[in-house]
Structure 1
């Protein structure tokens, strides 16, 4: 059954008013593992020295061969998040280890929903890829399809289908189970929302799987085809989740307390304490009406324009024998940055 990404209000979730002072302790169990990307070779450090919760360390000790996949899953997620939001006000800001996403993972916003979904999906993708590559003994290819197909239509299942079920199982075990017994009073709703969005990310990897086939026959006649299931590129998974983000459903807030909008002169755009860097200095597109446009990206503060001089080699020709002769070309470009 297809599910949808949900998100809560800023610092609000269902019936609860969550305070900033309690949130970091709660969220640490589910996201601190992303700091593994800053390590050189995590498998050489030993599980006890890695940025993991106690539950994750125990799992690591039982399955140390999965450490490269855990690191690759975190890298995939962070890279794809930055790629999907590169033209938006929030451009997937990541701080220093271990606060990879910082405040955004505790705020209960649409962005929080995307982060939980894409990180869970990244772990599924990397572990499944490692299984198919034969890097682990307890998983390999998915053989459940083999032997089936449609001989009358000239094709059958074979090859090495990606064993996505093992990847999904490990992602749940590593991320969701690590959060159990770690919540503080009054935070069950946010936990439920985060677990829901993590599951959306896992299902997205499965939903985006495709069928690849190879032809067999005399002189490439393709009389018979062998087909198998394979995961789509993680870029496609990220695009699918970004679409879900754009059409996400807001969790209803039943609290009586209202959040008042600050007057313009009282607003603080950057807030380094919570990891919000603002958009000052970000390059924008003056002619765009989308999220990368100067009006939206700069939050109505205006933008500066300066001219950038580019120098490059051009009109290159090969001269016999044996070197390349080029001209030196210059061009001027207007660059717009937010005030």
Structure 2
């Protein structure tokens, strides 16, 4: 799974053995954002990726930043309470499989690339694009309001296209089920951004009467993108390849075929309870759990019935804050005991 290896290499700064083969923008064993160094390897590439290296290296820089800052950061946030928590130590083997964890990592990283390139357009950081003004000057009217499309809308279409060129070009040359699943989940990640643009407006008129509004489209908050993909992760569909080599079909015939926005997988996940290098599990010994919850973050599930131990720790915090004229807020420093539960080790 090429994008999975991309995620791993960004985290490990290309020091993992998987990162030295097959990853077209790795430079030896070192992560660099120097586009000239990265694209020296472009001589053996063809098509869109070669064009990006030769003509648009700043797109690659934005894509790498989106993979690392948005994709991987959000992956860790969304999975922090699960047995697999998107940790660096587990990504390598996990992402070589077709599990639902792989599906989520591919989708959230693809979304991160789309988000960052689009953001760079709006910020004026890329010469190839700017604000989306395709709808400017179009007047829309509803029962209660009238608005004029204008302002600096986010050019998500550009970010979407460049994400495809950056991520999917190599996968599109193959037709095995791994590539089909990877492309499907990459697309689901991009659509989690593109299909959920929101409207922002500014009022015009005397004394703020808002008789006319100028509106533009903004991308959703990336936390909302992560939340949406996490829900799709929970409802991911197990699939197999159809005879035509182009379609994914659910294993369970009673389940509807996956839509373009669903996440899909073909291999059941390991339980991640104990260390197993073959599947990328580092186990859950020492993980923090919630002793009062019966959910996935609860100690019974997180600790895999091995039990847990409570630790009492002192925490400091600001308390008894008061405002002093003018203009300072003064606070005392207080301490309190906090109980933290951690999973026991292995017998």
2:65 maps to which residue?
72
Provide the secondary structure at the position in 2 that maps to 1:139.
Answer: coil
1:235 Cα shift? 0.5
Counterpart check, 1:118 vs 2:108: yes
Change (3 A) 1:170 1:111: same
Partner residue of 2:77 out of 66, 83, 99: 83
* CA RMSD in angstroms, aligned pairs only: 3.5
The normalised TM-score by structure 1 is 0.76
Counterpart check, 1:338 vs 2:343: yes
**CA deviation string 1:46-103 (max 9, x = no partner):** 224789x9464662232112233123211200010111111111111224xxxx8211
Contact 2:63 2:163 in 1 (8 A): no
Partner residue of 2:296 out of 291, 294, 308: 291
Counterpart check, 1:196 vs 2:188: no
2:261 maps to which residue?
none
Counterpart check, 1:156 vs 2:130: no
Change (3 A) 1:141 1:34: farther
1:108 maps to which residue?
98
Q: Give aligned pairs, total.
A: 298
1:117 Cα shift? 0.8
Counterpart check, 1:47 vs 2:35: no
**2-side partners of 1:289 and 1:310: how far apart?**
26
Change (3 A) 1:275 1:54: farther
Change (3 A) 1:169 1:328: closer
Structure possessing the higher relative contact order (Cα contacts under 8 Å, 6 or more residues apart) = 1
Greater Cα shift, 327-336 or 79-88 = 327-336
Unpaired stretches in structure 1, ≥5 consecutive residues? 1-26
**1-side partners of 2:191 and 2:300: how far apart?**
36
1:303 maps to which residue?
308
Contact 1:208 1:231 in 2 (8 A): yes
Contact 2:93 2:277 in 1 (8 A): no
**1-side partners of 2:285 and 2:222: how far apart?**
30
Contact 1:201 1:241 in 2 (8 A): yes
Change (3 A) 1:249 1:324: closer
**CA deviation string 1:294-324 (max 9, x = no partner):** 0011111111122223355644678999999
**2-side partners of 1:167 and 1:294: how far apart?**
41
Contact 1:42 1:50 in 2 (8 A): no
Change (3 A) 1:303 1:151: closer
